[in-house]
Chain A
Amino acid sequence: MGDLEDPDLPVVADAATGVSARRRWAADPLPLLLLLGAGGLLCLLLIPVSGPAWVVPALFGVTVAGVALSGST
């Protein structure tokens, strides 16, 4: 069990640097990924995915895949 005073714990570091949770999430790739995923799903509902339109969800899919891997930079 980690010590709550451990400076490596993100929550303690945030308290020390005074960074708000809202700002943390705004700079995080996870909300962007969820937004892109929701956009892709919305496109599936709105655009009849037939003919050349199959490229649209494919582009959303590979973009989501790239963002999922972007956290390991």
Chain B
Amino acid sequence: MASVRGRQRQLSLWGAFAAGTTLGGAATGLGLGVLSGLVSPVPERVRLVLLVVLVLALVVLDALTPRLPLPQRSILIPQEVFARGMARGGLRFGLEYGCGWRTLVPSAAAYLAALFVLLVVPPWWVAVALGAAFGLSRSWAVLLWIGLGSPGWQTFLAGHSRVLERAGSALAGLLLLAAAWARLGG
């Protein structure tokens, strides 16, 4: 994105990227929503206890480890996705980035969101909406950079990226547990 000159071009490229991240997240949400049907026979209280234990374990793991030691596809999205034009490339890059499992996952927050959908067993359309919200929000840092960024933005962010990832895990864990309690335990 940094190599694209002009705010209008950057914004239109971000539009394609955000559409891709949203669609990618929605697709993952739909997949997880379908998979959650497999655990629906498990009693709600059991699923709630399992979710609490897993969320706490993942948040603590994220807080204590310098790099998240969880299974993930540890490769970057290839730059070749832009070979057929910037707009199409932005969309495809967004799809892979927004789905949450096609590239590096540096924070436990993605696992927390996936576990929530799997164990809470929401209606399919809620699973899609949650996935889309996750995907769309993954594009916001780029929008911030386009609107307010300045030289050295990435270096500054890299200095506290683990704080961002860990704070995200803790806050997402808290909010998702509250939602799960209301759905399964309330």
Contacts and interface: CB of A to CB of B under 8 A. Distances in A.
Given A68-B109, A68-B165, A61 B176 contact: yes
Interface of B: 1, 25, 97, 100, 104-107, 109-110, 112-113, 116, 120, 122, 126, 129-131, 133-142, 144-145, 147-153, 155-161, 163-165, 167-169, 171-176, 178-183, 186
Given A61-B113, A68-B109, A40 B171 contact: yes
Nearest to A67: B137
Contacts of A17: 150-152
A28 B130 CA distance: 24
Given A57-B176, A72-B161, 20 more contacts: A10-B156, A13-B155, A17-B152, A23-B148, A27-B148, A28-B156, A30-B167, A37-B175, A41-B175, A49-B178, A57-B175, A61-B173, A61-B174, A62-B131, A62-B172, A63-B137, A68-B167, A68-B172, A72-B106, A73-B1
A30 B163 contact: yes
Interface string A8-52: 101001100101000110111110111011001100100001100
Interface of A: 8, 10, 13-14, 17, 19, 23-24, 26-30, 32-34, 36-37, 40-41, 44, 49-50, 53-73
Given A30-B160, A65-B112, A70 B174 contact: no
A65 B168 contact: yes
Contacts of A53: 182
B138 A66 contact: yes
A48 to B, nearest CB: 9
